[in-house]
Chain A
Amino acid sequence: AQSVTQPDIHITVSEGASLELRCNYSYGATPYLFWYVQSPGQGLQLLLKYFSGDTLVQGIKGFEAEFKRSQSSFNLRKPSVHWSDAAEYFCAVGAKGTYKYIFGTGTRLKVLA
């Protein structure tokens, strides 16, 4: 069965520091992978997605993620975090033809001024 693991429940970084949020998935075939961000009281906003091709994916707000098949990972990175990046981040895995996402439990990011 498909599953997504986000090992870090909370992460705190200083403004201007680099960021990496971890995501590991379990899926038999090639997955479709997504990162979403959710600000307090808001819905989910898509940051980036991977379907195929180049394993380094660029997204909005300066985020990128790298698909590593050998490690079953799709970690999200940002070279320099801004205070406005404080939010909850969700990794999701989709399946070809089923249009169904499985979400991780999320990582809450806190940014120190």
Chain B
Amino acid sequence: EAGVAQSPRYKIIEKRQSVAFWCNPISGHATLYWYQQILGQGPKLLIQFQNNGVVDDSQLPKDRFSAERLKGVDSTLKIQPAKLEDSAVYLCASSLELKGGQETQYFGPGTRLLVL
């Protein structure tokens, strides 16, 4: 079974530029998550999708971050314009909704973003 795929793996941009990350979840997984992991910290949830609908985007900085999952499969996360503090690893995860909510999240390798 293929895992969660993410691209690109690395990205270097200058502040005020825009950037987009792509994620393809495990086949059949209904729930998709985007996390931000700043160096030295644990991952922080940015947004959670159930199929193509947003479940939780309470921690997404909506003035500059956007995400979509149009067909309920793959997803893109965009930052526009980027700030220095956006330098982080962006992790995508997916889970298969199980009865009772006892799902497990499977993570992709992440996209490492450096904003100069």
Interface residues of chain A, those whose CB is within 8 Å of chain B, are 4, 32, 34, 36, 41-46, 49, 51, 90, 92, 95-101, 103-106
Q: Is the CB of A99 within 8 A of B101?
A: yes
Asked if A105 meets B40 with Cβ closer than 8 Å, knowing A43-B91, A96-B100, A97-B101, the reply is yes
Interface residues of chain B, those whose CB is within 8 Å of chain A, are 4, 6, 31, 40-45, 48, 50, 55-56, 91, 93, 95, 97, 100-110, 112
Q: Which residues of A contact B55 (CB under 8 A)?
A: 99
> Total contacts A to B, CB within 8 angstroms?
58
Q: Which residues of A contact B42 (CB under 8 A)?
A: 4, 90, 92, 103-106
Chosen A-B contacts, 18 in total, with CB atoms closer than 8 Å, are A4-B42, A32-B102, A42-B110, A43-B4, A44-B93, A46-B104, A46-B105, A49-B104, A96-B101, A97-B101, A99-B55, A100-B45, A100-B48, A103-B43, A103-B44, A105-B40, A105-B42, A106-B42
Q: Which residues of A contact B43 (CB under 8 A)?
A: 44, 90, 101, 103
Q: Which residues of B contact A46 (CB under 8 A)?
A: 104-106
Q: In whole angstroms, what is the CA distance A105 to B37 when docked?
A: 10
Q: Which residues of B contact A101 (CB under 8 A)?
A: 43, 45, 105
